[in-house]
Amino acid sequence: MRVSSLFMPTQREVPADAEIISHQLMLRAGLMRKVASGFYSFLPMGYRAFRKVENIVREEMDRAGAQELIMPAVLPAEVYMASGRWEKFGPDMFRLQDRSGRSFCLGPTHEEPFTETVRDNVRSYRQLPVTLYQIQHKYRDEKRPRFGVMRAREFVMKDAYSFDADEKGLDQSYQAMYQAYCRIFDRCGLDYILVHADSGAMGGSGSQEFMVKSDVGEDAIAYCPACGYAANEEKAPCPAVRGFDGEAGTVEKVHTPNFRTIEELMAFLGLPPTAFAKTLLYDIDGKIVAVMLRGDREVNEIKLKNLFDANEAVLAGSADVERVTGAAVGFAGPVGLAEPIPVVADSEIAGMGNFVIGANETDYHFLNINVGRDFTPTRIADIRCAVEGDPCPSCGKPLSMCRGIEVGHIFKLGTKYSEALGCNFLNSDGEEKPMIMGCYGIGVGRTLAAIVEQHYDKDGIIWPMAVAPYSVIIVPTNSTDETINATASELHDRLTEAGIEVLLDDRDERPGVKFKDADLIGIPIRITVGRKAPEGIVEYKLRSDGNVVEKTPEEAVAEVLREIGRI
Ligand code: ATP
Ligand code: MG
């Protein structure tokens, strides 16, 4: 392919609304174009890379024994009503009506239509197991579409669904998908971790998320480099601690005026923030609750919500704080509250002794407070966020924290959908049983963006070979020089004949401009044909390193084939 005829609208400037590297680079490299918030076109270069990812996904699904089909994106409301998700999806679901007023939606995920398809066509245990998948557009009216195709409103998902006769079968189907996912993300060159996810809400028995480590990820993950344990921050349990068994000091009330932060207060008292128990007042579904935790800790609002089985847990407003404590904001504590409210202490508080608390009196704190002697919490529970260095709940070694992008999700659904939709089969004893299901999703566009997020430098994208839109770019430095042009064309033709995807930058541009574009679009191998062409010498360079090696055109071709793994 000649670059002069390539539709590749690269941009020099960083687009203003692109916050993260992958979004910026995908726009700058001319891979995609925004049509509206959360809706993107893939342009030719981007679509080539996209299809590479899609094909890796397809190959691995097929290898694992899953069978591809395709369903409509527009689905009648009734399909989602039987499971209750027509209501449950709420504003996330794109809804429409046909000319006679019948309701439809744009499918956000396809558990229901797959379950119906299998229900209507599979009767006997002899026809099980079966795993079906599609690679298709999904529609979700996301609250905050952002980061380009990372969180879009229309996106391509590979969604697979397994149907088994028993739990053992589900385990095997799940395992096959697990292995396929590992192969997919390995082939895409991604550094990922597997995170245990909470399956409670979906009613299943197990669930894992494939997370790509990235500073821009929306999920905080606690993981153990020693044993491989990983969990979403809100799901990572924090260790219980032993009770304080030191000598309790005498309670003292101290005047602590004009301190804005715990750090300032602690500096004044000559104590570390770990000697302080802060009390935050929360409004939990309309009820005010005091929440205590060590001075340097953060409340995990998801754990707090789960503890109360509540819909919402937000910090109480200052009017509530002042009424309940009888003091200005900043002096709340569990002792001497003006109004009796429940006090929930983080489990760590039980292991502290002689600590400092707010005195429920403006500008005063108490010193030497001890649980049991001075106050008794209504509940002691794990309500804090895990932090770097906490012991791993699996092996006890220190946990690390990172941020991650969820690229894939595998899920043991059990019988939730098969029961709701009557997807039954006859077992070997002739009894009717619901099928045991699993579902397995991968975002193709998000995976592509995650690859860019992990493979770039200051000059642009560095595509892993397996997903690169083209493998090689040939750059003649002077397009008016006949020998240079002839050598470059010959190289292009030879590589093309060998089945290599190759670009020839035949534009009448300075070499610097061509090099900049080649770096920006991230083609893995660059062959420069320049001054030494008459001597039969070209320059061979990988995008991933700075080394330029002189070779004959024959050697360059051999090296390309070797690099691509043909030899
Ligand atoms: P998230 O928590 O990021 O919204 P999700 O839990 O809603 O993801 P699933 O319903 O499990 O995602 O969808 C399966 C896969 O589809 C995800 O792992 C992700 O790769 C992809 N995906 C989900 N939502 C989007 C989106 N808005 N844009 C692009 N890809 C998405
Ligand atoms: Mg989502």
Residues with Cβ within 8 Å of residue 361, at least 6 apart in sequence: 326, 327, 331, 336
Report the alpha-carbon distance of residue 91 to residue 192 in Å, rounded.
31
Judged by DSSP in three states, 468 sits in coil
Atom of ligand 1 at shortest range from CA of 405 = 3
Distance 225 CA to ligand 1 centre (A): 26
DSSP string, 301-342: HHHHHHHHT-S-EEEPPHHHHHHHHSS-TT---SSS-SS---
Q: How far does residue 50's CA lie from ligand 1's centre (Å)? A: 17
Kindly give the distance from the C-alpha atom of residue 108 to the centroid of ligand 2, in angstroms, as a whole number.
10
Q: Whose CA is nearest to atom 25 of ligand 1?
A: 151
Phi-psi region of 363 (alpha: psi -120 to 50; beta: other; left: phi over 0): left
Q: Is the bond preceding residue 469 a cis peptide, omega within 30 degrees?
A: no
Q: How far is the CA of 221 from the centre of ligand 1 (A)?
A: 17
Q: Which ligand is nearest to the CA of 157?
A: 1
Ligand 1 binding pocket mutation candidate from 112, 212, 218, 406 (most atoms within 8 A of CB): 406
Element (H, E) at 118: helix 111-119
What is the number of the ligand 1 atom nearest to the C-alpha of 152? 28
Ligand nearest, relative to CA of residue 39: 1
Q: Could you tell me whether strands 472-476 and 525-529 are parallel, antiparallel, or unpaired per DSSP bridges? A: parallel
**Ligand 2 midpoint to CA 537 (Å):** 53
Distance 142 CA to ligand 1 centre (A): 10
For atom 3 of ligand 1, which residue has the closest CA?
A: 406
Distances (CA, A) of 238 to 211, 235, 241, 286, 384: 21, 9, 9, 27, 7
Mean pLDDT by 10 residues, the chain (567 residues): 94 88 96 96 98 98 98 97 93 97 98 98 97 98 95 98 97 97 98 76 69 90 91 82 86 90 90 94 96 95 91 93 95 95 95 95 96 95 92 91 94 95 97 98 98 97 98 95 96 96 96 96 98 96 96 97 86
3-class DSSP assignment, residue 131 = strand
Helix/strand/coil (H/E/C) assignment for every residue in 132-157: EEEEEEEECCCCCCECHHHECCEEEE
HSE of 92, CA atoms in CB hemisphere, 13 A:
16
Count other C-beta atoms under 10 Å from residue 537's C-beta.
17
Say how far apart CA 184 and CA 66 lie, in whole Å: 14
Q: Which residue is listed with tokens 């002189």? A: 550
Q: Which atom of ligand 1 is nearest to the CA of 210?
A: 18
- Domains along the chain with CATH numbers: 3-236+401-452 (3.30.930.10), 252-381 (3.90.960.10), 470-564 (3.40.50.800)
DSSP alpha helix (H) spans, 230-327? 262-269, 301-308, 318-325
Question: Coil, strand or helix: which one is 2?
Answer: strand
* pLDDT for 563: 94
- Ligand 1 pocket mutation, candidates 37, 190, 409, 440, criterion most atoms within 8 A of CB: 409
**Cα–Cα distance, 184 to 173 (Å, whole number):** 16
Q: Any idea which ligand is nearest the CA of 110? A: 1
Q: Helices 444-454 and 21-28 sit at what angle, rounded to 10 degrees?
A: 100
Ligand 2 centroid distance, CA of 41 (Å): 21
Pocket of ligand 1 (CB under 6 A): 109, 140, 142, 151-152, 155, 157, 406-409, 441-443, 445-446
Kindly report the protein residue whose alpha carbon is nearest to atom 24 of ligand 1. 151
What are the residues whose beta carbons fall under 8 Å from the beta carbon of 26, sequence distance 6 or more?
32, 46, 148, 149, 449, 452
Ligand that comes closest to the CA of residue 232: 1
Q: Which of 106, 109, 155, 405 to mutate to test the pocket of ligand 1 (most atoms within 8 A of CB)?
A: 155
Closest C-alpha residue for ligand 1 atom 11:
409
User: Which residue has its alpha carbon closest to ligand 1 atom 23?
Assistant: 443
CA of 198, nearest ligand number = 1
Query: Alpha helix locations (H) across 357-413?
Result: none
Q: Tell me the per-residue pLDDT of 492-515, one tens digit each, with 9 for 90 and over.
A: 999 999 999 999 999 999 999 999
- In this prediction, residue 308 carries a pLDDT of 93
Atom 16 in ligand 1: residue holding the nearest Cα: 443
**pLDDT tens track for 65-107:** 999 999 999 999 999 999 999 999 999 999 999 999 999 999 9
Q: What is the pLDDT of residue 199?
A: 47
* Ligand found nearest the CA of 443: 1
Residue 152 and residue 454 in contact, taking contact as beta carbons nearer than 8 Å: no
Atom of ligand 1 at shortest range from CA of 411: 11
Q: 171: Cβ–Cβ under 8 A, 6 or more apart, which residues? A: none
Look up tokens 């200005």; give the residue.
Answer: 328
- For residue 219, which ligand has an atom nearest its CA? 1
- β pairing state of 206-213 and 103-106: unpaired
Nearest to 346 by CA among 306, 388, 404, 385: 385
Say how many Å lie between the CA of residue 330 and the centre of ligand 2. 36
Rounded Cα distance, 367 and 254, in Å: 7
Could you tell me the two tokens for 152?
């879009």
pTM across the whole model: 0.85
For ligand 1, atom 28: residue with the closest CA: 151
**What is the atom index within ligand 1 of the atom nearest the CA of 406?**
18
In 10 A of CB 252, how many CB atoms?
11
Ligand 1 atom nearest to CA at 159: 14
pLDDT at 232: 85
Closest CA to 468 of 525, 422, 549, 515: 525
Give first-to-last CA distance, the chain, whole Å: 24
Residue nearest (by alpha carbon) to ligand 1 atom 19: 443
Q: 188 alpha carbon to ligand 1 midpoint, in Å?
A: 18
DSSP notation for 75-95 = EEHHHHHTTTHHHHTGGGSEE
CA 142 to ligand 1: nearest atom: 27
Q: Nearest CA to 276 among 267, 287, 285, 289? A: 267
The ligand whose atoms approach the alpha carbon of 108 most closely is: 1
pLDDT at 430: 96
Tell me the helices (H) and strands (E) count for the chain, helix number first. Answer: 14, 31
- Which atom of ligand 1 approaches the CA of 209 most closely? 18
Tell me what pLDDT residue 234 has. Answer: 75
Q: What is the pLDDT of residue 393?
A: 87
CB distance 80 to 86 below 8 Å: yes
Whose Cα sits closest to atom 2 in ligand 1? Answer: 406
Ligand 1 geometric centre to CA of 443 (Å): 6
Smallest CA separation from ligand 1 atom 13, residue: 441
